[in-house]
A = this chain, B = another copy of it.
Amino acid sequence: MPKSIYESIYRDLKRRIESDEFAYRELLPSENTLVQTYNCSRNTLRRAVGRLVTDGYVQTMQGKGVRNIYRPVEQTAFTIGEIESFRESALRNGQSYRTQVLLFMELTADEVLAGKTGFPVGAEIYYLQRLHYLDEKPLILNHNYFLKECAPGLTKEIAETSIYDYLEGTLHMSIVNSRRIMTVEKITEIDEKYLELNVEDYNCMAVVTSYTYNSDGIMFEFTQSRHRPDYFRFQEHAVRKG
């Protein structure tokens, strides 16, 4: 499946680290050793290792070696740094999931919506409200806005399973990158109703606003994800750049 050498090496090393082949804080084999193992050039190997660094799996130390700093991720954690749908995330954690479509409608972007989402005024939009269940507990209330032009033929049925499968599998769109902003906001009545929250308990929640672009550089999706605060957990890894 991997279409390049460096990616297959990256995946293999990742797998080996995740399966505890190297102890925590242990050094990986040196570049020269790994080059012989994978029978590739040093550049290609370094490219694979470089991705492990940005993923937070290893840490390179000039003159010393490459240290394994991988720690298993707790359950229900949404790993950031990748674009992962709710369904993919649930699958990865081996949990049962279900999506309920609360609202499916088409609308045209007026000035208010355009200002809020970034879509041009007059754009044809699919607007969805979807409730995501994890292990039969409603955790996330999503407000999705899709550019109709980029997601033609979207239906309520598709939205109940996986919109991304439809976009990538059927429409052959490639999703490239996404800008996300996390904030804490007050709970609304609709949140309280669908997420089974009690204002006496929590009166605010985690909100992730995302702008997603396809390979043509067009922003085709604007989504606001409203998360139950007691189940929300976002994990991230940062590298300090000299």
- Copies in the assembly, this chain: 2
Shortest Cβ gap from A108 to chain B (Å): 22
In the bound complex, residues from chain B placing their C-beta under 8 Å from that of A202 are 184, 186, 203-204
Shortest Cβ gap from A213 to chain B (Å): 6
In the bound complex, residues from chain B placing their C-beta under 8 Å from that of A236 are 80-81, 179-182, 236
The answer to whether A71 touches B204 (Cβ under 8 A) is: no
The answer to whether B237 touches A179 (Cβ under 8 A) is: yes
From the candidates B53, B176, B239, name the one contacting A82 in the complex (CB within 8 A). B239
The chain B residue sitting closest to A214, CB to CB, is: B59
The answer to whether B235 touches A179 (Cβ under 8 A) is: yes
In the bound complex, residues from chain B placing their C-beta under 8 Å from that of A233 are 181-183
The answer to whether B80 touches A176 (Cβ under 8 A) is: no
A232 contacts partner chain B, Cβ-Cβ < 8 Å: yes
A175 to B240, CA, bound (A): 7
A206 contacts partner chain B, Cβ-Cβ < 8 Å: yes
The answer to whether A206 touches B184 (Cβ under 8 A) is: yes
In the bound complex, residues from chain B placing their C-beta under 8 Å from that of A178 are 237-238, 240
**Would you mind naming 16 contact pairs between A and B with Cβ atoms under 8 Å apart?**
A59-B217, A61-B216, A67-B217, A69-B217, A77-B181, A81-B236, A82-B238, A82-B239, A176-B240, A177-B237, A179-B236, A181-B233, A182-B235, A184-B202, A184-B229, A204-B229
